[in-house]
């Protein structure tokens, strides 16, 4: 009797686990490692410093700078800054990108000053392109969902295009925003923030 009760409870708990979690639980450590190795470089093209020009259906034409660095453990941090003609900052956002090998997807969170960690999304490599779906402005009166494509990816250039929805994906404005980039600085990697003692600067011990 006790075995039957335990089995029923276990089945109930499993049913309560979200489908994505159940999918992750079916992947072995070896499979997850292979997935990570296959996709860890998906955003390598973004590393470094870029100048961009853009056009939006909402804001018209604008320009700015975009820089990305790889952290010691493989995550990508990038800063996207829109500037004016006198180099004044109109808008800046920081994004953390990390690959989830158990779910075989990139997971992103945008960080605007004072807005917390609410602008989340996921990304997948599709052939030679990167596709992202992400929520923006979650803490604003007008949140929106964006479908983003990185394409025509080359060593010193990539193109970016996004569709936008303000009704949770029911309808979309296609080609809402476009970006063209030009590389102005090489790829960069950041070392450990808290290195073990044998890697630390002896002068700081």
| Torsion angle (degrees, nearest 10) of CA 177, 182, 186, 187 | 20
Q: What's the pLDDT at 67?
A: 98
48 and 34 within one domain: no
Coil, strand or helix at 140? coil
- Which has the closest alpha carbon to 97: 64, 130, 128? 130
Return the bridge partners of 105, or none. Answer: 100
Say what the pLDDT of residue 76 is. 98
pLDDT in tens, the chain (205 residues): 444 433 434 344 334 445 555 555 688 999 999 999 999 999 999 999 999 999 999 999 999 999 999 999 999 999 999 999 999 999 999 999 999 999 999 999 999 999 999 999 999 999 999 999 999 999 999 999 999 999 999 999 999 999 999 999 999 999 999 999 999 999 999 999 988 876 555 555 4
Q: Phi and psi for 136 in degrees, rounded to 5?
A: -130, 150
Question: Which residue segment(s) compose the domain that 61 sits in?
Answer: 44-185
Q: Give Cβ neighbours of residue 183 (< 8 Å, ≥ 6 apart).
A: 48, 49, 50, 155, 156, 157
**Is residue 193 assigned to a domain?**
no
**Are residues 33 and 51 located together in one domain of the fold?**
no
Regarding whether 148 and 100 lie in a shared domain, the answer is: yes
Domains in the chain: how many in total? Answer: 2
Q: In terms of domains, do 101 and 179 share one?
A: yes
200 within a domain of the structure (yes/no): no
Residues 27 and 88 in one domain: no
Residue 204 lies in a domain: no
196 assigned to some structural domain:
no
197 lies in a domain? no
What confidence score (pLDDT) does residue 20 get? 53
- Domain presence at residue 14: yes
Residue 153 lies in a domain: yes
Same domain, 10 and 101: no
Same domain? For 21 and 86 the reply is: no
CATH of the domain at 118: 2.40.128.20
Q: Indicate whether 119 and 20 sit together in one domain.
A: no
> Are 155 and 120 in a shared domain?
yes
Backbone angles phi, psi at 204, to 5 degrees: -95, -5
Query: Do 48 and 145 reside in the same domain of the chain?
Result: yes
91 and 118 share one domain: yes
The CA–CA distances, whole Å, from 172 to 92, 164, 175, 204 equal: 25, 5, 9, 54
Looking at the domain assignment, is residue 31 inside a domain?
Answer: yes
Q: What is the pLDDT of residue 44?
A: 97
Residues 56 and 69 in one domain: yes
């Amino acid at each position: 009797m006790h075995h039957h009760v335990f089995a029923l409870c276990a089945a109930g708990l499993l049913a309560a686990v979200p489908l994505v979690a159940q999918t992750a639980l079916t992947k072995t450590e070896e499979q997850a490692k292979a997935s990570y190795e296959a996709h860890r470089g998906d955003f390598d093209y973004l590393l470094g410093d870029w100048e961009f020009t853009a056009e939006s259906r909402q804001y018209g034409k604008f320009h700015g700078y975009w820089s990305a660095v790889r952290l010691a453990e493989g995550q990508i941090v990038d800063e996207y800054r829109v500037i004016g003609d006198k180099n004044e900052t109109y808008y800046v956002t920081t994004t953390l990108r990390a690959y989830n090998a158990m779910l075989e997807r990139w997971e992103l969170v945008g960080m605007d000053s004072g807005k917390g960690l609410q602008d989340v999304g996921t990304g997948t490599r599709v052939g030679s392109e990167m596709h992202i779906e992400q929520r923006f402005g979650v803490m604003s009166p007008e949140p929106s969902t964006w479908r983003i494509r990185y394409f025509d990816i080359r060593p010193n250039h990539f193109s970016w295009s996004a569709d936008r929805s303000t009704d949770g994906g029911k309808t979309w404005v296609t080609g809402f925003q476009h970006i063209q980039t030009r590389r102005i600085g090489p790829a960069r990697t950041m070392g450990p923030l808290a290195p073990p003692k044998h890697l630390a600067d002896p002068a700081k011990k």
